[in-house]
Structure 1
């Protein structure tokens, strides 16, 4: 993962298990995500569902990463290491809490570089519409474990980079309008 590049990241539970069984799992995931990845990533969107998750992130610029992690030789390895630490910490805690063993997530998380403005917009909308697509809720504003609420409630503190999306949309009202327009298209897509 390269400095300055945006990515769509997602992963699924191993087999038919859930990676989130109760509310405290979602909170723990987000707390440890911040602990391990906040210094290397800007988070633009996320959605956590019982058996998988989606993140839309940007790797911080090289100069900032070098200041924060001066001893790391290659920044690509730094980001991978931080993700590895994060997934490992979550899995170990989950395994301990539920008396299970082994990997919780599919072996390698997926990361798709976001290469243009259109793809950035589509990914942002897709991440937020994912719980509707998979039938976890009928209205995305009813899904608690999504960055949608961080954008809807600008007065609340958030770890999201809530300004960057304005490079791709005119306003939050523009996002809401496009979300309604794209809902049926996203639901019909045969992708994770």
Structure 2
């Protein structure tokens, strides 16, 4: 993962298991996330689903990474290592809480580089519409475990970078309009 590059990060539980069984799991995951990743990525969007998750992140610039991690030789490996450490820490905690063993997540997390403005917009909308796509809710604002609420409640503090999206959208009203259009398309696909 390259400094200064945005990525869509996602992963799925092993087999048919869930990675979140109750509210405390979601909360713990979100609490641990900035401990491992706050110094290596800016997070623009996320959605946690019972058996998978999505993040839209931007890897911090090289000078920021070198300032925090001066001895790490290859910054590309640093970012991947921090993600791996985060997933490992969550898995260990989850395994201890539920008396289970082994890997919780698919072996390698997926990362797709965001190569243009359109792809960034689509990924941002896709992440927030994921609960609608999977039939958990009819509206993204009704799903508790996504960054939608941080954008809706700009007055509250957040660890998200909530200004960066304005490089790709005019305002939050435009995001809501585009989301509604895409939601109608998803609902049409689900009826077929």
TM-score band, normalised by shorter chain: over 0.9
User: Counterpart of 2:87?
Assistant: 87
Mapping of residues 8-157 of structure 1, within 5 Å: 8-157=8-157
Describe the superposition over 1:79-131 as per-residue Cα deviations: whole angstroms up to 9, x where unpaired.
01101110000000000000000000001111000000000000000000000
CA 1:115–1:188 in structure 2 vs 1: closer, same or farther (change >3 Å)? farther
CA 1:82–1:188 in structure 2 vs 1: closer, same or farther (change >3 Å)? farther
Supply the RMSD in Å over aligned alpha carbons: 1.3
**Runs (4+) off by over 3 Å:** 184-190
The alignment partner of 2:119 has SS state of helix
What is the Cα deviation at residue 184 of structure 1?
3.5
For 1:59 and 1:68, locate their aligned partners in 2 and report how far apart those are by CA, in whole Å.
13
CA 1:188–1:30 in structure 2 vs 1: closer, same or farther (change >3 Å)? farther
The alignment partner of 1:149 has SS state of helix
Would the aligned equivalents of 1:13 and 1:19 in 2 still touch at CA under 8 Å? yes
Mapping of residues 171-186 of structure 1, within 5 Å: 171-186=171-186
State the TM-score, normalizing by the size of structure 1.
Answer: 0.96
What is the Cα deviation at residue 139 of structure 1?
1.2
For 1:183 and 1:72, locate their aligned partners in 2 and report how far apart those are by CA, in whole Å.
43
For 1:7 and 1:188, locate their aligned partners in 2 and report how far apart those are by CA, in whole Å.
29
State the TM-score, normalizing by the size of structure 2.
Answer: 0.96
CA 1:77–1:179 in structure 2 vs 1: closer, same or farther (change >3 Å)? same
Would the aligned equivalents of 1:126 and 1:186 in 2 still touch at CA under 8 Å? no
Describe the superposition over 1:124-183 as per-residue Cα deviations: whole angstroms up to 9, x where unpaired.
000000000001111111100000000000011100000000000000001000000112
For 1:109 and 1:184, locate their aligned partners in 2 and report how far apart those are by CA, in whole Å.
30
For 1:188 and 1:28, locate their aligned partners in 2 and report how far apart those are by CA, in whole Å.
35
Unaligned runs of 5+ in 1: none
CA 1:187–1:96 in structure 2 vs 1: closer, same or farther (change >3 Å)? farther
The alignment partner of 1:47 has SS state of strand
